[in-house]
Amino acid sequence: MEKVKGTVKTEFFLLGFSDHPELQRLLFAVFFSIYSVTLMGNLGMILLITSSSHLHTPMYFFLCILSLIDACYSSVIAPKLLVDLVSDKKTISYNGCAAQLYFFISLVDTESFLLAAMAYDRYIAICNPLLYTVIMPKRICCQLAMGAFWGSTVSSIIHTTNTFHLTFCSKEINHFFCDVSPLFSLSCTDIYIHDIVLVVFASLFEAVCLLTVLLSYVFIIAALLKISSAEGRKKGFLTCASHLIFVTIYHGTLIFIYMRPGTCHSLDIDKVTPVFYTLIIPMLNPLVYSLRNKDVKNAFRKLISQKLLS
């Protein structure tokens, strides 16, 4: 087989869903619809938060950035996927593949950090409400957001370098985008060390984010259980419900995909499951937060009323 050195500029072939040619048009229609809803929902959420002064709080600051990240990382995958579904030549350059993997990992890891920051924000708001504005000023929120971007950049550089340091024996990627597992499967050499690097760094990254979320919610639940009023407890749980639902879906999917040893991977499963977190989860974010959040719904009604009156 032809060896594709990591230092040589060449092309990869994305096999995508070519094993189901009869479904190409249907998949295009479905994925195009999902991507359109994702962009409209997340960009709409950003517009709503930035234009509504009473949503200028740390919680919605993080939600605004989360919506931007969702729109961006879905855009790293979806346009290329849609083109490939209606094209006979499903190729991506070596540099393009590396760039796609880099930006995808960077944006996904940024989202993990932001979800952890949002959990910490909810902990402060519920457990220390009187000191909330002192502990979470705008400066601290910006620093947490910048820390998320910095940490995800370092993580992405490590994983991208680890992956493209391999020597590839094939140009055919059995996936619809450049991801770590399908690229590992093309390696001519032993990937044991590379697999260890992937699992160790991914585990550490997930551990930091999940531990922050879990500890925050342990203290939140303990604080809510001390509230004597049933209505007060209900209101507190509803405040965190949207975030908790999103965290469970998001991290559950990532753990299933990336926290398994390479020998346990099935490319057929790993090709279908990423559809969920690359296309569907970014679409769910604005829906979950808008349908379950009274402040967002009120802001939306107010914005629509203002537009109609104007």
- Per-residue pLDDT at 25 exceeds 90: no
Q: What is the DSSP string of 187-242?
A: BSS--HHHHHHHHHHHHHHHHHHHHHHHHHHHHHHHHHHT---HHHHHHHHHHHHH
CA separation for the pair 66, 87 (Å, rounded): 32
Residue 262 lies in a domain: yes
- Per-residue pLDDT at 7 exceeds 50: no
Assign 13 to helix, strand or coil.
strand
**Percent of the chain topping pLDDT 90:** 37
Q: Note the Cα 79 to chain centre separation in Å.
A: 17
Taking the complete model, does pTM exceed 0.85, yes or no?
yes
CATH at 171: 1.20.1070.10
Residue 276 DSSP one-character state: I
Q: Exposed (0-12), middle (13-18) or buried (19+): which is 95, by Cβ within 10 Å?
A: exposed
Token pair for 104: 């995808």
Residues of the domain holding 19: 11-309
Residue 6 lies in a domain: no
> What pLDDT does 309 receive?
67
Residue 221 lies in a domain: yes
- Per-residue pLDDT at 1 exceeds 70: no
Residue 193 lies in a domain: yes
Residue among 74, 64, 66 nearest 103 (CA): 74
Residues 6+ apart with CB under 8 A from 62: 114, 117, 118, 121, 141, 144, 145
Residue 136 lies in a domain: yes
Burial code of 184-217, b = ≥16 C-beta within 10 A, e = fewer?
bbbbeeebeebbebbeeebeebbeebbebbeebb
- Per-residue pLDDT at 9 exceeds 70: no
Residue 5 lies in a domain: no
> What pLDDT does 6 receive?
43
Residues 6+ apart with CB under 8 A from 232: none
Residue 1 lies in a domain: no
- pLDDT tens digits, one per residue of 67-105: 999 999 899 999 999 999 988 888 999 999 999 999 999
- pLDDT tens digits, one per residue of 170-224: 899 988 999 888 898 898 888 888 888 888 888 888 889 989 999 999 999 888 8
Runs of H (alpha helix) within the chain: 24-51, 58-85, 94-127, 132-135, 138-164, 180-184, 192-225, 230-258, 267-275, 281-291, 294-309
Residue 207 lies in a domain: yes
- Per-residue pLDDT at 288 exceeds 50: yes
CA separation for the pair 34, 20 (Å, rounded): 20
- What's the total number of domains in the chain? 1
Residue 173, beta-bridge partner list: 14
